[in-house]
Copies of this chain bind each other. A is one copy, B any other.
Amino acid sequence: MDVGVRLQSIRKLKGLSQRELAKRAGVTNSTISMIEKNSVSPSISSLKKVLAGIPMSLVEFFSLDVEQDSNTQVVYKANELIDISDGAVTMKLVGKAHPSRAIAFLSETYPPGADTGNEMLNHEGEEAGMLIEGRLELVVGSESYILEKGDSYYFESSKPHRFRNPYDEPAKLISATTPANF
């Protein structure tokens, strides 16, 4: 979360000097220096100007993750998933030990009557899933769908959405969301 260090590593990765980047970006070299030393917190406009000289967007800049080469666990037995259940809905997360989680991969079970409630729109990402057992109702935006075994979905997480099981047998769903909000 260190803007200075982050900028410096990107700049060096691109093989640019402070002055070179400054020239391309249309700022002075001292600006770059001070930003990298965290002696100032740049304004959005000037950081944007600086990044334009790389070039790189603000999103890219902030989402750049400092790499980590963990030798983490790969396989998780059925009983090793971490339970993040919410109300009646059972949700089990794959990859508990994973550091830089990009996907939230879940096994979800909706007992009869279960409902996620009207989730607020979640700003980022996309999600997909497939129904493994039972039937389930999916509402995305103003549309309502009935999922049956083998059916799947894919939508932007930013749209308001909701899962509901109005039937009398449990529904089992496997889903993936990116980026992970857990």
Contacts and interface: CB of A to CB of B under 8 A. Distances in A.
Copies assembled: 2
A166 interface: no
Contacts of A126: 98, 100-103
Contacts of A39: none
Interface residues of A, number: 68
A80 to B, nearest CB: 9
A154 B44 contact: no
Contacts of A102: 125-126, 178
A65 B75 CA distance: 33
Nearest to A47: B44
Given A105-B128, A129-B105, A158-B68, A151 B76 contact: yes
A130 B73 CA distance: 15
